[in-house]
Structure formats: structure tokens, C-alpha cells
Structure 1
Amino acid sequence: MKACFAIFLLLTLCFSNLLFAQPLNNSFENWNTLDPVDWLSSDELYGGTFDGIIQSSDAHEGSFSARLEVIDIGGGLGSMPYLWSIDDAGSLHPVTQKYGSLKGWYKFSPQGNDILYVGVVMFDSDSSAIGAGVFIQSNQVTSWTEFEAPIYYNPGSPNPIQVLINIYIADSTGQINVGTFALIDQLSFSGPSSVEQISGLPMDFNLSQNYPNPFNPTTNIEYSIPEASFVQLKVYDILGNEVATLVNEEQSAGNYKADFSGNNLASGLYIAKLQTGNYSKTIKMSLLK
């Protein structure tokens, strides 16, 4: 019954209005027969036919973690293991503010081209998606490692009240491979969304050098806009590939500070670019791990 209601819930986005700070059962310490308490799994959707979500004693924190494993369902075909942040009453997990990112700890042992996917979507009181983030890993990770999925919000959106966290194993080319597994533990939200306004009104547009620089893994980027403008602040690698969008919205005149995390990036030189109207400026930032 819970599985059927949960599917209907996902299709209609009719969510309740509870308020808490972190994902429920965020370290997967408590378990029902088929899945973690306050989480919905592919095991329950299939009535326990495919046991791809397992309580594991290999934990980063506490006694247990969640193990997602691709198992053989016949003829060498693998089942796709899923975890959704849907509680035992069929509701999405509650949140209280615009968190900056979803963090957690993981191990990953892929076969073939399999990938680990952790997605997060924030919903407001109207059941509208207002923010999202994603973490994707395709490489083998044998020791407990922290991941981070930065969450980006629609400009001018209200605070969210619920979150859908979606954790699964997929394959970048099609069929997933039997034997791939991941361990997930200790999920948490970071602090509020990472752009804040500083007191005072500036006379000119400006993008200041980040501090600290070099940095590991976070740094502050301050900028000023003397009039209301649509502002974009993005970060690129040295090849010009965009790696993060820190700001993409209309902002009032003021001084601002944005936090940038290179937690999931390699050491190297990165470029921050501020674009607003006819004003554009870049700075170079050095990430040293």
C-alpha cells in the first residue's frame, strides 16, 4: 500500500507541510523489512523480488549504511537499485530553508560503465520544483569519501518545505552491470545557500579577488553592483568548461559574498567570471589539495 501511494505521490507532487532540518534516518541506522525506515526503495516497489537494497555493517558513522547493489534478475540482466527520500507515511522529507548542498559519504565499486547518481530536488509550498543539485561518480572509490551535490535555486524562489533525494546506480551506455555496488551513509545538508548580501551601497561594479587564495576546498568571492541588475557569477576550469553557477538571478544594488566549494574538483587553476549588463570581469583562483 505504501509503495502504491508513494508512486502516486511522485506523479502528483501532493506533499505535506512538515518542517525539519536534515534527511530523516540520514545515517540509515534504522531499517524495516525491505528498506531503511523513512526511505522508499526499489526492493519495496518490487515487493521484495529483487534484493538490491541491503543493510550493511560497513558504515562511516554509527553501525549501518545503505548498500545499493545491481543483482542478476535472470539472463545476466541487472536490476537498478533505487532509494528515494519518501517516509513511511508516503511523504517527502521536510526541510526548512534553502540549503547550499547535500553532502554524504560513499564507496563505489562499478562494473563496466556504471555510475552512481545522487540527485536532490527542492519543492516549495505549491509543490513546485525550485532548486536542484546532482552528484555523479563513475570511478571506483574503495574508502569512505565525502561527496557534495551543490543545490541551485530559481531566481526569486521562496524557501522550500520538502526535498526529494534520489540515489541509484545506472549505466552511461544502457544496461547496468551485475555486481556493481555502492555504500551510502551520513547524509546531511550544508548551511544556507551560499550567497549573502553585505551592508553598504557601492559606487561601481566590481569583482574582488577571492580569499583565501590558494584555497582548499572553499573560498569567498565578493562582488559589488551599484544598481539593480541581472547577475551571473560562474566558475570555469582552465579549458573553459563551466564547473559551477554561483549566481544567476536579478539582484538589488549592494555588496555580495558568494562561497565556492572545490570539494569535488581536482587541484588546479579556475576562473570566476562576473557578468551583469555591460560589465564583465574575471579572476583566477588556485585550488590546492
Structure 2
Amino acid sequence: MTNQQHKTSVTVLGLGAMGQALAGAFLGAGHPTTVWNRTPGKGDDLVARGATRTATAAEAVRASDVVVVCLYDYAVSQAVLDPLAADLSGRALVNLTSDTPERSREAAAWAAGHGIDYLDGAILVPVTVIGTADALLFHSGPRPVFERHESTLRVLGGNTVYLGEDHGLAAVYDNALLDFFWTSMSGLVHAFALAGADGVKGAELAPYMSALLSIFPEAVESTAVEVDSGVYPGEQAPLVTEAANVDHIIHASEHRGLDVGALSGIKAVLDRAIAKGHGADGWTATIEAVRGAR
């Protein structure tokens, strides 16, 4: 009996860069792997490694016990999955497509209505990290479904985390972490542009950027405590002072012809928080303005 005969069979629907990485990880771990893509011509390398490529999504689904979906968004994934409801019934469907918690829950309701064991998931690492011990993936949905297929899903990443029964949780965590990541990356790029406008090379500023990151672990922990408690200590740096500092950066950026859209958004949030009576509180008090944006 070969090693593959001991392993759960897996189908991967969607062969973009991430889908190919997922299928490659399953193959590398010895899982019989079937692949399908909406447009032909992808997956030659996977087939050369032993994957089975099918002409139709229905054939791909019927080939495996676990079906993993990784497509552009949930509108695309549902367009693919809707005609496959009968084929998916009785199988485990793991959707690793990125989207919103609401769409995750809608997909879960659709799956439940068709007798499909459904897990929602999110991938928090780039393609090159898939299949390694450091790869972080979130899953949410029925615990028995996750536990039944946990060993298979852990092939994709050593840091595979089950979040709970609510199918939307994986997307909640995904959206929140990417919110932090992309706003931070935007600030990083803008800072390089600001310094560069006065002739400072990125490489000259970079060491000080890295040093600044040392305060973030403690800041993350303290901010979490403050947003949960609703207490925002501001003795050392009240919002009125921080708002003035942001104004200085906006003025300097405008003088150099730089885009200030993100900074103006930050200043608007600060101003709303101050107007709500939080001028003497710390930066975390801006959450009151963020929550009251609508």
C-alpha cells in the first residue's frame, strides 16, 4: 500500500498562485490531489508532480473527500460552487477565498442547506510560506468538521488555528490583521516619500524605522487592554497634542506635493474624538470616533 493510500484525498479548485501553492503542499505531504481551474492551461507543474487535472469542476469535486476553494472572492467562488451542490453533499468544503464575514456566513448557510460540511478559512501568509511551519491559517465553522480534517489542513501551515463555530470568524481576524498591515504599509511608504522629498534615501531612514518597531509589541498589548476596558490614559500624550503633531506632518507633506489622503483621514478621526470629549485621553480613544463613523 502506498503512502498516498493512507492520506485523505483533496481537490483544489482555483489555480492562481495561492491555489497552486496549496495543491503543491498537499502533494508534498502525500495526499492524492486533484486540481481544476476555471481557465485551462494552469497546473502543468502540479500534474508533473502527480496531481490529477480534470476538465470540469464536478469531476474534481467527486474525486476527493475534502474540497479546498481558493478564488478571487466569494462572488466568484459561489458562481463556481452553486452548480456543484449535489456533488459536494457529504463532503467537506474548505473555502480559503478572502472576503467579508457576512459573505462567509452566507456561504455557510448555503452549504448547510445542501448538506455540505463547511469550514471557512483565511490565509495570512504569502505564497512562498505555504506548507511551512510558520504559515498562519485561520479556520472557523463546526469543530467536529475541523477536528476530522485537522491533520490534512495542517499540511498547509504549522500555525493552523481554529477560531470557533461562527463561520465568519476567520474573515473577522483576516480583515482586522490586514487592516493593521495595509495601513501600516501605507504609512511606511508615505514616510519614505516624505523623507525622500528632502533628499534622504530610504536606506538611510530604514534603520530608524526598524528601531521604531520595537515599541509595537507593547503598544499592541496595551491598546488591546484599553479598547476592551474603555479607559484611555492620556497623561503622557493627550489627543490634542497628537492632533497638532499630525497637522505638522500634513503641512510638511502638502508643502512637498505629497498625497495627504491617509493623513487627513487620521486627522479627521482625531478631531471627531476630541469633539466627543476625549482631548485629554490617549491615542486609543480614537476608537470612539472610529466606532461612531456611521
Higher strand share: 1
Larger Rg: 2
Q: In proportion to residue count, which structure has more helix?
A: 2
> TM-score, with normalisation over the residues of structure 1?
0.23
Structure of higher RCO (CA pairs closer than 8 Å, 6+ residues apart): 1
If the length of structure 2 is used for normalisation, what is the TM-score?
A: 0.23
